[in-house]
Structure 1
Amino acid sequence: MVEVEKKVSRGEKRKYELLEIATDAIIELGYANTSMDEIVRRARASKTTVYRYFKNKEAMLAEIVSNLSEGPVLSIRSLDSHADGGSREELKETLFVFGKTVLKLVYDEKTLGLWRVLIGEGRRTQHITKSFFQLGPKRATTSIAQQLQLANDLGILSIDTPENAAAIFMGMLREDTHLALLLGVRSAPNEQQIRDHVKDCVCRFMRAYAA
């Protein structure tokens, strides 16, 4: 992930703190059972303070998911569209960094906790789970698909439908490990295992769509 040093205002810091508190509450109690009053209580803040930042619980969840997906999106280094024929190595590095960032995110225990909660409550809160999908997984897939479209235009790869190719790459990254972690039947891979797996996925993906 690309880290950019920036000054965080007191208001932004408090907003992030409230989101952390809301995340923990939702994972512990479930989305339906987490009220704004509960978040106010845990935050030891006034209702005025909390509602100054978020109009309701749904707005809080939307921002939580949007913030989570920012890591993979910001990790993408756009290909140089003016390069002579593009660069396979540049694309490989882009996919590798993106892949590592995605896996570190989806393997994180808090992210897994949100997935478990929303999967469990999906039927009762379909508009919430739809928003989660659009702001999280779909956003990351769409972002890398844009680079795959550019890679196709530059002749680096041969891809008819970049969105489908991006979904395939995401599936290769997650494989069965993500499901196993959601079910709690295995531990998360370590840093080296993640790097090795992503490198293998990138190599296989590049071969499959070679121009």
Structure 2
Amino acid sequence: MKPLSAHHGATLLAGVAGFVDTLGFVALFGLFTAHVTGNFVLIGAELVQPGRGVALKLLAFPVFVLAVALCRWRALALERQGRPALRPLMGLQAMLLLAFMAAGVASELVPTHGQPLAYAAGLFGAGAMGMQNASSRMLLAKLTPNTVMTGNVTQLVMEASDWIAGRRDAGLHQRISRLFYPVLTFALGSIAGALSYSAVGFAALLLPVAAVTGIAIVGLRTTEP
């Protein structure tokens, strides 16, 4: 099998981030697994409006940080061995997403231990998305960021504004395309994550597990212009 285009892979990972982040938010007391900014906001809100599951958000932060650090160390170790890091890191992320799903499904099946298992699910999810954040910054740094969309939307609106104003240089269309598709896929992934969780619960995580596993198997062409 041929490796995916790097841009297609980054777009697919944006869908994974939207799916996992929204599913985690809906299922786990408002937890954001793909980025920590939202959790900081919700922790602050907990000070005046208790009952938002602040403990899980506080635990998720060090887990996210540890996942980023471990991802970095693993990538450096592979680099020293002269081995490409993307596939192994995607494989580890897929395993963490699978653990996220397994703990979540167990929390649904064993209601008496539901909260500890749900907490475990959230921490596996935060670890998985910490790895995606780190691997994207290290190995796909030239591509559109695929986990947090605020900067992408801002830049997309600026580029589109230039297009409307007639300031159209040779690379403008390509820049708009590279921004538009990850933003769109993140949004669609978010909708799919909410609807899929509503339909089948944590088992819906099989979709992002399959997507990340696919990238781990076929790889990405990271040397594209």
TM-score normalized by the length of structure 2: 0.35
Computing the radius of gyration over CA atoms, which structure comes out larger, 1 or 2? 1
Q: Which has the higher helix share?
A: 2
Question: Quick one: higher RCO (CA 8 Å, sep 6+), 1 or 2?
Answer: 2
TM-score normalized by the length of structure 1: 0.37
